[in-house]
């Protein structure tokens, strides 16, 4: 049996515009454009699932996709490839990684240059993703992101540039491997955590809204006052190692008494600190006010984890424990 291929849309499938509408390639058209794919063995088992810009994907759709991919693996697929837009891929990959229960790789890929441009990267990325999904070396690594012949762990990867084929990076670790010629070389094996439960109730997932707020120079957080009326949790992207203006600290402290508030860094790399700075608005002060330490998780990934936890009914202690394990 070949890999199970799920297509969700995005640039990799964008074949131009006709009559004001985007023309999107099907999975069969995508795979037909990949030289060398047939050499990998049985053809991919294609599931054309969605055809959307990745900005329109939802948590529910990704969790449903993981369920379908899981069934494909249980039916014998040696691995899974998902093609989608690159804009939200760092979030969807992490969401899938948190719940993926199998040793078989779940590999997400996309493209930065669409098929109508000179040198589209979609076919190369799809071939590298399929090789990775089939590679025994990639088993047990959870969800992986493969672009530009690099293999990234879903929990570390970021879309770090808006254009160009080298848009994806893992700032804290680098890629876990590389696709070289016809081989998948895994150079680092990050530890796997036990999969988290998928929320059974779609309504609970929809209700578990988590806001993301970036600290900025001379900001007093007036926007946050009514947040608990609409949201069940908040992720703060703080300065540096987890700092905010002193005027914002009591606002966040008051919120943390009502909903979980997770502290992360807006820098794009590195962890938040725990006990180094002591001023009002520092990481020590914010933790004392009840904010949860986001560790190495970037703000977008912290938001994914918090929403998944809240939708599954996690209380404050469970949230803190999960961030200690995943952050
Ligand atoms: N805007 C596109 C999307 O995320 C970008 C891409 O696919 O690379 O759907």
pLDDT tens digits, one per residue of 267-289? 999 999 999 999 999 999 999 99
Please, are residues 302 and 269 in contact by the beta-carbon 8 Å criterion?
no
Nearest to 312 by CA among 232, 254, 252: 232
pLDDT tier, 17 (very low <50, low <70, confident <90, very high otherwise): confident
Residue 47 alpha carbon to ligand 1 centre in Å: 19
User: Residue 321: which residues within 8 A CB-CB, separation 6 or more?
Assistant: none
Residues 68 and 110 reside in one and the same domain: yes
Task: Give how many domains the chain has, as a whole number.
Answer: 2
Q: What is the pLDDT of residue 19?
A: 83
Residues 114 and 253 reside in one and the same domain: no
10 Cβ closer than 6 Å to some ligand 1 atom? yes
Please, are residues 83 and 6 in contact by the beta-carbon 8 Å criterion?
yes
Residues 163 and 220 reside in one and the same domain: no
Q: How far apart are CA 187 and CA 219, in angstroms?
A: 43
Residue 125 alpha carbon to ligand 1 centre in Å: 14
Which atom of ligand 1 is closest in space to residue 12's alpha carbon? 7
Q: Is 152 exposed, middle or buried (0-12, 13-18, 19+ CB in 10 A)?
A: buried
Residues 139 and 275 reside in one and the same domain: no
Bridge partners, 211 (sequence order): 234
22 Cβ closer than 6 Å to some ligand 1 atom? no
Residues 159 and 53 reside in one and the same domain: yes
pTM: 0.97
pLDDT tier, 257 (very low <50, low <70, confident <90, very high otherwise): very high
- The CATH number given to whatever domain includes residue 285 is 3.40.50.40
Instruction: Answer whether residue 197 is part of any domain.
Output: no
48 Cβ closer than 6 Å to some ligand 1 atom? no
110 Cβ closer than 6 Å to some ligand 1 atom? yes
Residues 176 and 42 reside in one and the same domain: yes
Residues 275 and 314 reside in one and the same domain: yes
Instruction: Answer whether residue 196 is part of any domain.
Output: no
Residues 174 and 230 reside in one and the same domain: no
200 three-class SS: coil
Residue 10 alpha carbon to ligand 1 centre in Å: 5
Q: How far apart are CA 189 and CA 142, in angstroms?
A: 10
Instruction: Answer whether residue 207 is part of any domain.
Output: yes
Atom 3, ligand 1: which residue's CA is nearest?
A: 85
Residues 120 and 145 reside in one and the same domain: yes
120 Cβ closer than 6 Å to some ligand 1 atom? no
Residues 103 and 221 reside in one and the same domain: no
Residues 322 and 276 reside in one and the same domain: yes
Catalytically annotated residue among 7, 11, 83, 88: 11
Q: How far apart are CA 31 and CA 190, in angstroms?
A: 30
Please, are residues 237 and 213 in contact by the beta-carbon 8 Å criterion?
yes
pLDDT tier, 18 (very low <50, low <70, confident <90, very high otherwise): confident
269 Cβ closer than 6 Å to some ligand 1 atom? no
Residue 282 belongs to domain spanning: 202-326
- The CATH number given to whatever domain includes residue 176 is 3.40.50.1170
7 is a catalytic site residue: no
Instruction: Answer whether residue 193 is part of any domain.
Output: no
Instruction: Answer whether residue 322 is part of any domain.
Output: yes
Give the torsion sign (CA, 223, 225, 230, 234): positive
Residues 236 and 142 reside in one and the same domain: no
Give the torsion sign (CA, 30, 35, 38, 40): negative
């Amino acid at each position: 049996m070949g890999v199970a291929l799920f297509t969700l849309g995005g640039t990799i499938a964008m074949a131009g515009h006709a009559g004001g509408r985007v023309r999107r390639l099907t999975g069969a058209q995508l795979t037909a454009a990949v030289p060398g794919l047939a050499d990998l063995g049985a053809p991919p088992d294609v599931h054309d699932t969605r055809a959307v810009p990745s900005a329109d994907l939802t948590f529910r759709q990704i969790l449903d996709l993981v369920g379908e991919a899981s069934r494909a693996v249980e039916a014998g697929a040696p691995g899974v490839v998902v093609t989608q837009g690159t804009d939200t891929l760092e979030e969807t990959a992490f969401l899938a990684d948190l719940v993926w229960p199998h040793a078989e790789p779940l590999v997400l890929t996309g493209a930065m240059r669409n098929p109508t441009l000179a040198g589209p990267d979609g076919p190369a990325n799809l071939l590298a993703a399929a090789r990775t999904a089939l590679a025994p070396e990639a088993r047990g690594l959870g969800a992986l992101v493969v672009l530009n012949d690099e293999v990234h762990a879903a929990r570390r990867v970021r879309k770090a540039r808006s254009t160009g084929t080298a848009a994806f990076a893992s700032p804290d670790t680098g890629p876990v491997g590389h696709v070289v010629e016809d081989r998948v070389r895994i150079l680092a094996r990050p530890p796997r955590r036990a999969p988290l439960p998928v929320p059974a109730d779609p309504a609970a997932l929809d209700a578990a809204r988590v806001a993301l707020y970036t600290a900025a120079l001379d900001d007093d957080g007036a926007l946050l006052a009514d947040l608990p009326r609409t949201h069940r949790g908040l992720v703060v992207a703080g300065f540096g190692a987890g700092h905010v203006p002193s005027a914002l600290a009591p606002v966040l402290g008051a919120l943390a008494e009502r909903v979980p508030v997770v502290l992360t860094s807006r820098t794009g790399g590195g962890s938040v600190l725990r006990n180094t700075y002591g001023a009002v608005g520092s990481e020590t002060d914010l933790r004392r006010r009840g904010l949860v330490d986001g560790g190495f998780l970037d703000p977008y990934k912290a938001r994914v984890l918090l929403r998944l936890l809240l939708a599954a009914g996690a209380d404050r202690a469970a949230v803190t424990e999960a961030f200690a394990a995943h952050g």
